[in-house]
């Protein structure tokens, strides 16, 4: 078992860099990425106005902890080598600042993007996993092109409100939460339920949504769940062990 998956002795900044590099490589493994495009950012532990990101131009499969640079909302590189891509600055920094959430992941992952290309892009709670997302997605119904001003990030932060997910019509998805483990698990599960919905829709039959009563039950933590509060970390640690077999080197 890799020490990277379970090491609790790393300082918080190093741990954040390792986990961010792992999430980027996992996105390649799970086909959620577009090479050097899209963005994963994390607020630097101990700060509220500095963010970690992979330098623009590096392929996500190359990501290592030592590669992560630190930038601010002005787009300045404060630590590390390289630059932050403009839309990462303009989308992510304002969302971090306004929402206070420490992790913001944005992708154009294939099945979620396919759903957001449809006139009706709503995720239907027609299976157990999609029921977890019911009421937790904000929908941006207007695509305004690539982000090149901080106002776009501010707009998205306002649209998101208290929800952890935004579906961006004609664009992709955005997740903003407080842990890398949770952010990546949400992205992964979203891709699977979007794929399931599109495949079910392709049959031409009408989808059967789960009742609100059952959705409420699914979304209510079970007091008898012995893993309550730990599922995100258990999932992410397992995925890092997969990385140690399939794509090692992210923790360097």
pTM: 0.93
Domain count, the chain: 1
Tokens representing 7? 């090491």
Q: What is the DSSP letter of 34?
A: B
- Give the pLDDT of residue 223: 57
Domain span at residue 173? 3-220+229-246
- Give the pLDDT of residue 2: 47
Residue with tokens 């062990």: 241
What spatial distance separates the first Cα and last Cα of the chain, rounded to whole Å? Answer: 17
What CATH number has the domain bearing residue 125? Answer: 3.40.225.10
If you compute the radius of gyration of the chain from its CA atoms, what whole number of angstroms results?
Answer: 18
Burial (CB < 10 A; 0-12, 13-18, 19+), residue 249, is middle
- Give the pLDDT of residue 220: 84
In a domain, 74, yes or no: yes
- Give the pLDDT of residue 5: 52
In a domain, 138, yes or no: yes
| Torsions phi, psi for 212 (to 5 deg) | -60, -35
Average pLDDT of each block of 10 consecutive residues along the chain (252 residues)?
57 98 98 96 97 98 98 97 96 98 98 97 97 97 92 97 97 97 98 98 96 92 68 96 96 96
Give helix then strand counts, H and E, for the chain: 9, 8
Query: In this structure, what is the dihedral angle of CA atoms 176, 179, 183, 185, given to the nearest 10 degrees?
Result: -160
In a domain, 252, yes or no: no
In a domain, 251, yes or no: no
- Give the pLDDT of residue 252: 96
Q: HSE-up of 22 (CA within 13 Å, CB side)?
A: 26
* Angle in degrees, 0-180, between the axes of helices 12-29 and 231-246, rounded to the nearest 10: 70
Nearest to 20 by CA among 49, 1, 45: 45
- Give the pLDDT of residue 9: 79
Q: How long is the chain?
A: 252
- Give the pLDDT of residue 1: 38
In a domain, 185, yes or no: yes
């Amino acid at each position: 078992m890799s020490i990277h998956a379970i090491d609790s002795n790393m300082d918080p900044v190093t741990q954040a860099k390792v986990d961010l590099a792992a999430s980027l490589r996992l996105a390649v493994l799970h086909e959620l990425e577009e090479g050097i495009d899209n963005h994963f950012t994390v607020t630097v532990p101990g700060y509220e106005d500095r963010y970690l990101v992979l330098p623009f131009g590096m392929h996500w499969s190359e990501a290592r902890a030592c590669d992560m640079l630190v930038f601010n909302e002005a787009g300045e590189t404060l630590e590390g080598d390289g630059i932050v891509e403009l839309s990462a600055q303009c989308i992510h920094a304002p969302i971090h600042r306004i929402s206070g959430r420490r992790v913001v992941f944005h992708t154009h992952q294939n099945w979620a993007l396919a759903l957001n290309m449809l006139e009706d892009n709503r995720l239907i709670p027609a299976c157990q996993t999609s029921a977890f997302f019911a009421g937790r997605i904000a929908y941006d119904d207007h695509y305004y092109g690539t982000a090149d001003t901080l106002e776009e990030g501010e707009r998205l932060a306002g649209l998101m409100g208290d929800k952890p997910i935004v579906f961006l019509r004609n664009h992709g998805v955005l997740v903003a939460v407080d842990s890398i483990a949770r952010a990546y698990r949400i992205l992964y599960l979203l891709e699977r339920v979007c794929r399931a919905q599109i495949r079910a829709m392709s049959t031409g039959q009408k989808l059967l949504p789960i009742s609100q009563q059952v959705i409420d039950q699914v979304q209510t933590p079970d007091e008898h769940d012995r893993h309550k509060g730990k599922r995100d970390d258990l999932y992410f640690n397992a995925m890092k062990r997969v990385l140690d077999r399939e794509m090692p080197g992210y923790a360097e």
